[in-house]
Chain A
Amino acid sequence: MARTEKAISKTSVNPRSVPKKKTKIKKGYAGWLFASPWIIGLLLFYALPVVSSLYFSFTTYSILQPGDFIGFKNYSDLIHDHLFWKSIGNTVYFAVIFVPLSIIFGVALAMMLNMRVKGMSIYRTVFFLPTLVPQVALAVLWMWLLNPGFGLVNGMLDKIGISGPAWLGSETWSKPSLIFMSLWGIGQAVVIYLAGLGDISNEYYEAAEVDGANWFQRTFYITLPLLTPVIFYNLVMGVIGAFQQFTLPYTLTQGSGKPNNSLTFYVSYLYDNGFKYFKMGYASAMAWILFIIIMILTLLIFWSSKRWVHYQGK
């Protein structure tokens, strides 16, 4: 390192003594060397698996056996796979309902937690705490809360005279239950919204107040438009996360997706194929289809963002 610095200072003092090109190589050389653990790791453990999974998706690879090249057979088989479509249906259902709800609740919560009230840091902590609970623990906890017989939720519903559904045991209610659970872990997004709210310059509000705008107008004409960059970020991350939903439903049903496959999510089915049925080629094909779906959705959101995302100072 010291030598490189010397070389640089030499160049600046006497440009002719060391050719400029060589310095550049030398400088880059040290950089590459220091970055090499990361580069090697990235290529070996990230790029290589990604590329090979594309190849495997055209084979009958089973992890234990290399398998044969079968062209697009895995993809055409998937089209005729009933459970594949069911898993897509479940995943889309979850994403379509969960992501908007998480934005609405997240923004609302953030706005409440942004008020100037005594002990606000305590409230903020309370809402953030659930995100620290591991997904598996979250699943077990909610299995008890939503327990049809002795659960707290049905117990409370009972008190006000409603006999609650079987929640996770009912085909109609299993996915809504999952959405409730996921909404509980919304704290991460709320923190980002809070940062976004803090970023909005007070001048806008002062000006609006002078103009006589009420709370409603301030929220919908100042807060929300200026929060759109953050909402945009959370929307993209939320969609990606929702399509990769795995731990919660898999833990809740011990991988069975019961009742009636209503909790068989896309990645759960992918995992079963890869690691339980030894159909890694088939699973790789599923992974690439998922990648394409997420890619298209993300591109769509980016494309639409020009119409609804407003940046401050523009």
Chain B
Amino acid sequence: MRQSMKRIQLFLLATLIVLAFALVGCSNGASSSKKGVTTITFWNNATGTGKDALDAVIKQFNKTHSKIQVKSTYVASNESSDDKLLTAVTGGNPPDISLFDRFKVASWANQGSLTDLSEYAKKDGITKDKYYPFAWDESSYNGKLYAIPISTDARLLYYNKDEFKKAGLDPNKPPTTIDELEADADKLTIKKGSRFQQLGFAPWLGQGWLYTWGWAFGGDFYNKDTDKVTLDNPQVVKALQWEQDWAKTHNVEDITGFQDSAGSDAQDPFLTGQISMQVNVTGTVEQIKKFKPDLNYGVAPIPTPTGKDFTTWSGGFSLIIPKGAKHPKQAWEFLKYLGSPEGQKLYCGTSKGDLSVIDSVNQDLFKDDPIMMQFVDLLKTSHNRPSISQGQLLWNELDSAVDKAIHGKGDPKSLLEKANKKVNDALAKDKAN
């Protein structure tokens, strides 16, 4: 009897030891104060030049802040999901800072998993007018600030100047209206049977999301006052109608075949000359420099029906402090630094391809780069995807509406009305909770 008691004790002891180890393992990084120095953990998915840029900023920050040391850790994530951060926040043991796609800010803030930064910002005099309006709006939700924007991009029409010349078009006169775009595209297209040897243009390829065309047609997707999405906006419907007509007249199945054939990086159809015009994001400039530096191309504002009021939209990254972070105060110092003109200059100057969220920094960094300046010029009036709790659902619904419209599965108006209802219903549900 006594022996078995002893054994139970031994068993309990062993269990305790295992548990103790497990608990210690969970709280790593939290207790590393050496002479009042706080180490804060920073999760990010940066690689390549993006990582170089972050490393440069962290190095500079650590040098100038003796009491705070930032430790960077690579953690995989993407634009629409961030499973590891999700698990860490749920488990109550998140990093102090995370690199975060601004697209996700509203939905995560709605879930109460981001730290409200409004008070910090107020205290340190950080206000909307320091940044591009879209960058601030996308970092906020319900009037509160949840992220500090650190980089951005924009969309423009890329066109191949050599192919313009070959087709008898003026390489210095890219299309400005929708009609010109269509006429040029037809001249640039070389088709053999059902295969395109060279595709002039297709609205939905590259970054030709419905956001791109809806805004280009003068529509809008969200009403701030009613806090409802407006996918049934007549101009948005018109944009989708135009895409559907394009699909009909240019045989969508053939274009889809072309689209599926499209590679990425060096095999990108615009880089290989298989497509003459395409709406693309800022990063394509760096991609061309890296894989096809001799490509003779130009960029131009995305055509609009009138040939005036050019616009674009922007996304990009930000820094957030997850709910439950151990050192929010110290983390804020790093957010503030990377969001300041000094940090921005170092970051965007090192990463290249990224545009800054501060106009003066861009003017300074890119003044000698005519292509990048075309992006910078449009940033002041650039749009952002609505900062709503159902941003991902809205994205998927728009994507699916375009897919259905171009394949002739319904008329644009009813497709968009249906999607509109679905998203607004989901928004209403979020508000009720």
Contact = CB atoms under 8 A, between A and B. Distances in A.
B393 to A, nearest CB: 6
Looking at B86, B258, B260, which has the most chain A CB atoms within 10 Å of its CB? B260
Contacts of B433: 60, 67-68
Contacts of B261: 147-151
B404 interface: yes
B407 interface: yes
Nearest to B86: A63
A64 B81 contact: no
A169 interface: yes
B257 A166 contact: yes
A233 B117 CA distance: 57
Contacts of B333: none
Contacts of B113: 64
Interface string B216-253: 00000000000000000000000000000000000001
A277 B393 contact: yes
Given A64-B90, A275-B81, A169 B259 contact: yes
Majority SS of interface residues in chain B?
helix
A27 interface: no
A168 B258 CA distance: 12
A167 B194 CA distance: 14
A181 B398 CA distance: 29
Nearest to B426: A277
A169 B256 CA distance: 6
Contact of B4 (A29, A65, A272): A29
Nearest to A25: B4
Nearest to B11: A33
B403 interface: yes
A278 B253 CA distance: 34
A33 B12 CA distance: 11
Contact of B403 (A167, A259, A276, A278): A259
Nearest to B260: A169
Contacts of A278: 107, 111
Interface in A232-259: 255-256, 258-259
A163 interface: yes
Interface in B393-427: 393, 396, 399-400, 403-404, 407, 409
B400 A259 contact: no
B260 A168 contact: yes
Interface residues of B, number: 37
A17 interface: no
Contacts, number: 81
B409 A167 contact: no
B83 A148 contact: no
A148 B257 contact: yes
Contacts of B254: 166
Contacts of A277: 390, 392-393
B90 A63 contact: yes
A170 interface: yes
B257 A276 contact: no
B295 interface: no
Contacts of B400: 256, 260-261
A29 B393 CA distance: 53
B60 to A, nearest CB: 34
B388 to A, nearest CB: 13
Contacts of A290: none
B256 A166 contact: yes
B112 A65 contact: yes
A63 B84 CA distance: 12
B90 A163 contact: no
A62 interface: yes
Contact of B409 (A64, A149, A260): A260
Interface in A49-77: 60, 62-65, 67-68
Contacts of A60: 433
B80 interface: yes
A260 B404 contact: yes
A168 B257 CA distance: 9
A148 B83 CA distance: 34
Given A143-B260, A256-B399, A260-B407, A169 B253 contact: yes
B260 A276 contact: no
Interface string B79-91: 0110100100110
Contacts of A65: 111-112
A8 to B, nearest CB: 16
Contacts of B4: 26, 29
B397 to A, nearest CB: 10
Interface of B: 4, 7, 11, 80-81, 83, 86, 89-90, 107-108, 111-113, 193-196, 253-254, 256-261, 390, 392-393, 396, 399-400, 403-404, 407, 409, 433
23 contacts: A29-B4, A62-B111, A64-B90, A64-B113, A147-B261, A148-B260, A163-B194, A166-B256, A169-B260, A170-B253, A170-B256, A256-B399, A256-B403, A259-B407, A260-B400, A260-B409, A261-B403, A275-B83, A275-B86, A276-B80, A276-B81, A276-B392, A277-B393
Given A166-B257, A169-B260, 7 more contacts: A33-B11, A64-B108, A64-B113, A148-B257, A169-B256, A256-B399, A260-B400
7 closest cross-chain pairs (CB), A and B: A148-B257, A149-B261, A169-B256, A64-B111, A166-B257, A169-B260, A64-B113
Interface of A: 26, 29, 33, 60, 62-65, 67-68, 143, 147-151, 163, 166-171, 255-256, 258-261, 272, 275-278
